[in-house]
Amino acid sequence: MSIPEVGLSCSSPASSGSDRRSIPVLGMGTGVLPFTPDQRAKMKLAILQAIELGYRHFDTATLYLSEEALGEAVAEALQAGLISSRAELFITSKLWCSDAHHDLVLPAIRQSLRNLKLDYLDLYLIHWPISLKPGRCHFPLKSDDILPLDLRSVWEAMEECQRLGLTKSIGVSNFTRKKIVELLDIARIPPVVNQVELNPVWQQNKLREFCEQKGIHVTAYSPLGGQSLSLGRNLVLESQVLKDIAEAKGKTVAQVSLRWLYEQGVSMVVKTLNEERIEENTKIFDWELSDEDRHKISQMPQYKRVSVRSLLSAEESSKRLDLPSIDDMDED
């Protein structure tokens, strides 16, 4: 099965049309937190199953601790002939906040490449528009460790990663319109991707429109909603609107959500280690939603799940904290 791809803007002033990159619209996320040792084998097996099913887009990050499992799966896939070369894959990793300092960016991407046993990434993202005090990669965050991001110096180092060939493209994650404007004002190489929380209950219409105007592709994480820690529920999978559409189409709620995202022109990374669901998620390309379906989804109440505060421990998130301006999230 072939998963469609969408083109990314040329990411360097010196790029020619032939340098245009494309990203598979359906990818596999590997952000299982906490990532325990027994999950490593499960993760590797799930990635191999995904490659067999036609997945070519894999998303990891320093924070996830899944880079080594992904690297092992890629090596085994090559050895088994599931893919003929590493170039068939689109692999994204992310700079964690404790490394979001000018002098730590290059060491961080090189460590990611060592973990993955790869020569280059296809895409390297700033994970959040904040910094943490330099040190170990820990989660949940401690509020005392959060620092403003020196965007100019960090982005200069990100650009150097691309110039050195350590990554084909660079981008950002969890950036608002305001932060993107700030970045575009100083960037020599503009970001090609903004990866954000995006699904039918957090549609990000204004942010998506803005990114399209700026030539920045949007990738959705939490495309199936994820568990809201504050509500203890998954508002996507529990949506009666989506359940009704799914029943009428003979599809699952997850497939309806992913199909809606596909029709919005974004790519998505879906996190599951379940073989049946890995395959189920691919079956969204040979049917479409009706205009009535799309209208009903457009009217769904909106709820944002992920913020800087949500990255803190329960004890710290209950405090009255003056968090960085990233919590001024784009509202639709």
Dist CA 104 CA 286 (whole Å): 45
Contact 330, 306 (CB under 8 A): no
Is residue 64 part of the annotated active site? The answer reads yes
Dihedral through CA 314, CA 311, CA 101, CA 8, nearest 10?
Answer: 180
Residues annotated in the binding site for substrate, as ranges? 127
Task: Mark the binding-site residues, compressed into ranges.
Answer: 127
Question: Which member of 64, 120, 124, 262 is catalytic?
Answer: 64
Q: What is the DSSP string of 113-145?
A: HHHHT-S-EEEEEESSS-EE-SS---SSB-GGG
Q: Distance between CA 315 and CA 332 in Å, rounded?
A: 30
Taking every pair of Cα atoms in the chain, the longest distance, rounded to a whole number of angstroms, is 54
Q: Which of 218, 239, 256, 229 is nearest to 301 (CA)?
A: 239
> In angstroms, rounded to a whole number, what is the distance separating the alpha carbons of residues 308 and 321?
11
- The DSSP output letter for 53 is T
Task: Encode burial over 255-267: b for 16+ CB neighbours within 10 A, e otherwise.
Answer: bbbbbbbbebebb
Q: Are 129 and 327 in contact (CB under 8 A)?
A: no
* Catalytically annotated residues: 64
